[in-house]
Chain A
Amino acid sequence: MRYETVIGLEVHVELATKSKIFCSCSAHSYGAEPNTHVCPACSGMPGMLPVVNKRVVDYGMKAGLMLNCDINRITTFDKKSYYYPDLPAAYQTTQWFAPVAVNGLVEIETSKGKKGVRIKQIHMEEDAGKLVHDIREDTTHVDFNRTSVPLIEIVSQPDLSSAEEVEAYLERLKNLLRFARVAECEMAHGTMRCDVNLSVRPEGSDKLGVRTEMKNMNSVEAIKRAIEYETARHIDALENHTEILVQETRRWDDIKGKSYAMRSKETAGDYRYFPDPNVMPVQIDDEWFESIKSSLPEFPEVKQKKYEEALGLSSYDAEQITRSIALCECFEAAYAVTGNAKDAANWMISEVMSILNARQMTYDQLTLDGRALGELIKLVSDGTVGRANGKKILAAMFDDTAISPKIYAETNGMIVSNDTGLIEKTVKAAIAEAPKAVEDYKNGKEKALMAIYGKCMKELRGNCDPQVLKTILIDMINQM
């Protein structure tokens, strides 16, 4: 019998706000001392009342609109009960009855073509704290720095059917949420985490099989491996009766490549959701809704099409740049200055993205002023600055975004010299020092010329029109 895998994802995304969801403690405590970003509200002291951070609702709405959801104009918070020391109030404030966004659709593309994945809902909620078990044997240590950091949970319908589709879906979510600048979505940093709900059924059947959930997966590769393992385990259980499948939560051990039962799955009733009497409903009026709607960026594929059709970029170049809104904005500003889209795209892809990669920065961390990049590109293309020095100036612009490329080139002696006398003098000295290379060149070894050329360029600190230098060099050798 042939089987198909049915997968639904619950993706938790940490929102890029400055403060927590219900109090004004900083939401960024990575590397901080334990419990230094904590107050009576987020440490669950009795009597403390939550106050909703407006930006969390802004970002919840933005995420919903980017994922083609309907926005609930009255959205409410609910209490989800569970007892564990990482949750000091013994309940999580989340959304159950009226989440901020519902009924969305995300389009993904895989080797099998395009497919729509339905979004059931997006709800806003608070993160839990962190437990440390290895400081002392007799106790668990609790750190509430992460408690109440704002999250959205994006719940898909069970529309995915393979590891490839899951990867494409996660990439699409990242791209859209980063475009709207609501989240970093970096699995390695824990700002995107994923629960995988999986079941298997005979191909063509419309009845769902027994579902297991793997929680807190934090890398796409691990998710893919876990899906393949779980699919095989489910099919083996159905075909060979090796075990009885039960609805449960499982832990994925990526090192051993196996999943293990953690606990029987809770049902919604077990959490005893009820409306949080401490947080009144949030009403999103027309003005608020329209201000968020009008602040959304163009979708990446709309930009990509525009870059290809209106600016004449290749599909590859357009795709590279639309990987991040920061790259798009930088490119568009540089293009506005240079008027040459291809040139601006080349600099973005071969230079700007290389520096970001080398410095292990995400594309969204780009703060380079696109107009200044445009000025630099112009200086290089009109021959005022050599390409090698252009790259050096770009690196300096990454370190200090206030740098003007022209002033930097002037103050650092990087302006190309038109002084042919100086070039001739340099070439003459270089030729005198390299009689063998000269002879090799005369004997037909073209490469020998480049050795002398390189020496001259170094001597002139790159401040020379490459074509002028080459012409003078060849002329002088030919005259010998």
Chain B
Amino acid sequence: MTREILRRLELLNQLSLTEEEKESVMAFFDAREADAACLESIDTSEVERMVHVMPIMTVVREDVVSQPYSREELQRSAPETDEGYWCVPRVVE
């Protein structure tokens, strides 16, 4: 883990870490990378790719419309609504 990669991850995750947190996160990532390197040393060229950790497949539903919730119910916990919209801090200048 480098300072540059960490800076990019901070940006992507919209985080602002303190110097202390940065040290701790970098140590954590270095340890995980070591774990990954350990796994990578195993030859998996003959192993079929696993698509999911659970050996089960999804169920599907039919294409039928239902609308059991009202807007008022859904917006009850919203910090702010206006004219039926959820309101968030302005995202364009």
Chain B residues with Cβ below 8 Å from A137 are 90
Q: Which residue of A lies closest to B70 (CB)?
A: A36
Chain B residues with Cβ below 8 Å from A138 are 90
Chain A residues with Cβ below 8 Å from B74 are 35, 38-40, 43, 45
Q: Which of A57, A270, A281 contacts B51 (CB 8 A)?
A: A281
Contact mask for chain B residues 69-89; partner A; CB cutoff 8 A; 1 contact, 0 none = 101001100001011111111
Q: Is B59 an interface residue (CB 8 A)?
A: yes
Q: How far is the CA of A281 from the CA of B62 in the complex (A)?
A: 17
Q: Which of A33, A39, A52, A97 contacts B84 (CB 8 A)?
A: A33
- Judged by DSSP, the binding face of A is loop
State how many residues of chain A have any CB contact under 8 Å with chain B.
53
Q: Is B57 an interface residue (CB 8 A)?
A: yes
| Count of chain A to chain B residue pairs whose CB atoms are closer than 8 Å in the complex | 131
Q: Is A37 an interface residue (CB 8 A)?
A: yes
Q: How far is the CA of A146 from the CA of B51 in the complex (A)?
A: 29
Chain B residues with Cβ below 8 Å from A463 are none
Q: Establish whether residues A283 and B87, one from each chain, have CB atoms under 8 Å apart when the complex forms.
A: no
Q: Establish whether residues A35 and B82, one from each chain, have CB atoms under 8 Å apart when the complex forms.
A: no
Q: Establish whether residues A131 and B91, one from each chain, have CB atoms under 8 Å apart when the complex forms.
A: yes
The minimal Cβ–Cβ distance linking A433 to chain B, given in whole angstroms, is: 63
Q: Is A24 an interface residue (CB 8 A)?
A: yes
Chain A residues with Cβ below 8 Å from B57 are 74, 280-283
The minimal Cβ–Cβ distance linking A145 to chain B, given in whole angstroms, is: 10
Q: Which residue of B lies closest to A15 (CB)?
A: B63
Q: Is A189 an interface residue (CB 8 A)?
A: no
The minimal Cβ–Cβ distance linking A269 to chain B, given in whole angstroms, is: 9
Q: Is A140 an interface residue (CB 8 A)?
A: yes
Q: Establish whether residues A54 and B92, one from each chain, have CB atoms under 8 Å apart when the complex forms.
A: no
Q: How far is the CA of A50 from the CA of B84 in the complex (A)?
A: 24
Given A24-B66, A139-B87, A53 and B61 contact (CB-CB distance below 8 Å): yes
Most buried by A among B14, B71, B80: B71
Q: Which of A51, A83, A141 contacts B82 (CB 8 A)?
A: A141
Q: Establish whether residues B86 and A270, one from each chain, have CB atoms under 8 Å apart when the complex forms.
A: no
Chain A residues with Cβ below 8 Å from B59 are 51-52, 280
Chain B residues with Cβ below 8 Å from A38 are 69, 71, 74
Binding site for B on A (CB under 8 A): 17-19, 24-26, 33-40, 43, 45, 51-57, 74, 76, 81, 83-85, 97-98, 131-133, 135-144, 270, 272, 275, 277, 279-283
With A36-B71, A52-B61 given, can you name 7 additional A-B contacts, CB distance below 8 Å? A40-B74, A43-B74, A52-B60, A81-B12, A83-B14, A132-B85, A283-B58
* 10 pairs of A and B residues whose beta carbons are closest in the complex: A141-B85, A280-B58, A55-B63, A54-B60, A283-B57, A142-B86, A34-B84, A85-B88, A24-B66, A139-B87
